[in-house]
Structure 1
Amino acid sequence: MHQTYEGTYFGFVATLDVYGFEINYSQRIISSVWIVNRGPNDNLEENAIRIGWQVFPELYGDSHTHFFTYWTRDSYRTTGCYNMRCPGFQLTLGSKITPGDVISPVSDVDGARQKITIKVSREKSTGDWWIYYGFNSAPTVVGYFPANLFTNLSEKATSILFGGSVLAVDGASTPPMGSGLLPSILSDKAASIEDILLVDEDGKIAPFDVKTIKDETSDLCYAMTPIFGESTSRCLYGGPGGCVVG
């Protein structure tokens, strides 16, 4: 993942390639954006919103790719949930998608790319965080996380993260991430996060002109490029997995 340095942030936009894999109940694949305010005590008071796509058989009962949201206000300890499985996320009437819905079709490594564009923006007057989604199109509103869900995030985010994560338990091998291929300057088949932008306090789109920390937990399995591009910010990420046993 890429993570911004600690600062003040009010929103983010990015377009993510979407892929799908057949995996088992011991595995999980996620590509997402995190909007975070860690508060005065990182271990107890992190407020976070997470949005993106995931393959999560244990949660959904299938290996389809799903659009998801997640929230917490106490570092994932006792609050929050995926999608609308607990009170929290407020769906807007007429939204084209509901958190938890299947995304279809998905990208073909050797063919067409399918993309979702995610926009997350804090409403200045209320402190609510609005979520927008577009499938191969400009994002439209899905709903919002009310300010009263949070202790600190209603005022601002202090960090933004974006990238991929995977999980394997019970001795399963780790699944693929992104397209299942490591990023390479010799190939365009790795998953892309592109058109990366910020949203300012007044809700206006701004260039992504901040530095980030790049984190690769196991760079033999998964890797991520630096952010590059002159007219638009972009990075590549992913890998085949299978080299770490959980």
Structure 2
Amino acid sequence: MIYNCVDIYKQPSLNHPLLQNHKIQMEPSFSVPKSNRFENKMRTNIIGCPNGTVPILKNIKDHAANTQYFAEKYFNPLTVESHGTHYYSDLKLIKKLRNLKFEGIRLQKDGPYYGIAAWISVHDLNISRDQASFANMYVGNRVNNKENFIQVGWMINPSVLGDGRPWSYGFWRGVNGAGCYNTVCPGFIQVSKDDPLSEPLPYAPEGKRNIALTIQQDTDTGHWWVTDIEEGDKPDIHIGYWPKELFDLMGDGANILGIGGAVQSSSSGVSPPMGNGHLPTKKDMDSARVSEFLYRYENSDFKNYYQYSKLDKLLDSEKCYGLKKGDDYFFTFGGPGGNSCGI
């Protein structure tokens, strides 16, 4: 993948019909939570564009087509009914029915919420060309079968990203069901000149690679920002935001927050591994981990959600994947997948 350094005021997202008169917000008005839980956060592949420009991932033809397909058929994290849904595609990469599975936790009481933050472990997995594996957090609203949501995290998706490495990513769905990955189509406003929304996450020994991200609505402007949380006294990196104009249900917070993992199976029906490929055990470090689950109400600081027992648990296939409250971590998740994971 190649990044182009583009004039911040000429980035492709400003061509979106809903953003014709948009004025770029250079930084948010809120603060970002800190944590000492993960001392080896690995999101340091800095691009380094000149001042006044921002890194935009160059879209080649196949990449754009595959990304459009995945955006149209993307699993919906807001509804349990979407779990196990099958889709059909005539793309060369994916020709048969595919299985979508999600494992995680969800909070949908006492909203609206204006932010979520989490520290999620990152892992290398053996994913085939027509499979995908994700670990992410999301915010969203669902009203009368319409939904808006934003999701950030990491994924291994060779057909979209071109290789089998874990990449950071963002995805949104807004007005009229429109949605997109990263900056492939207009929508996300990139502000950081160094830290793109989507980038490969460098290798680190098992257990020492994590991402720390937050999605927050700036209540002064209504825009939804994604921020890379830095360690200690290092300044946080505000990567950019999805403007409020893109959404018709999230102008005043979100009613649903969630964190977890998801997979898309291959055309043969084989489900890929999730997390680090291992089911949760009594030892937290044996599987993928979410360190903390923080949320924010309007004009308040982030709160740490401790009541795991009161969260909605979404476990789509207990044959192949698992979810467990951790001892030192908030919860652990993942599993090996396989060819008998059900539908």
Task: Tell me the TM-score range normalised by the shorter chain.
Answer: 0.7 to 0.9
Q: What SS does the aligned partner of 2:245 have?
A: helix
1:124 counterpart = 2:219: yes
Q: Partner of 2:173 in structure 1?
A: 72
Percent identity for Structure 1 against Structure 2: 26
Q: Name the CA distance, whole Å, in 1 between partners of 2:231 and 2:263.
A: 24
Pair 38,203 (structure 1): closer, same or farther in 2 beyond 3 Å: same
Query: SS of the residue aligned with 2:286?
Result: coil
Q: CA deviation at 1:199?
A: 2.0
Could you tell me how far apart the structure 2 residues matched to 1:4 and 1:107 are?
32
Give the match's secondary structure for 1:118.
Answer: strand
The amino acid across from 1:221 in the alignment is: C
Q: Which residue of 1 aligns with 2:322?
A: 223
Contact 1:123–1:203 under 8 Å retained in 2: no
Confirm or deny: 8 A CA contact 1:27 1:172 kept in the other structure.
no
How many residues are matched? Answer: 234
Give the match's secondary structure for 1:81. Answer: strand
Instruction: Tell me which protein shows more strand as a share of its residues.
Output: 1
Equivalent residue, structure 2, for 1:133: 228
Measured against aligned partners, the alpha-carbon deviations of 1:151-173 in whole angstroms (never above 9, x if no partner) come to 01121101001100001131141
Name the SS for the 1:46 alignment partner.
strand
User: Which has more radius of gyration?
Assistant: 2
Q: How far 1:83 moved relative to its partner?
A: 0.3
Look up the match of 1:81: 180
Q: Give the Å deviation of 1:100.
A: 2.3
**2:189 aligned partner, one-letter code:** Q
Q: Which amino acid aligns with 1:80?
A: G
Residue 102 (structure 1) aligned to one of 200, 219, 234: 200
Q: How does 1:103-182 map to 2 (within 5 A)?
A: 103-108=201-206, 112-134=207-229, 139-182=236-279
Relative distance call for 1:117 and 1:46 in structure 2 (3 A) is: same
Unpaired segments of 5 or more residues in structure 1? Answer: none
- Determine the structure 2 residue equivalent to 1:237: 333
In the TM superposition, structure 1's runs of 4+ consecutive aligned residues that sit over 6 Å from their partners are 135-138
Structure 2 CA distance for aligned equivalents of residues 78 and 206 of structure 1:
31
Query: What is the alpha-carbon distance in structure 2 between the residues aligned to residue 71 and residue 47 of structure 1?
Result: 8
- For residues 58 and 134 of structure 1, the distance between their equivalents in structure 2, rounded to whole angstroms, comes to 28
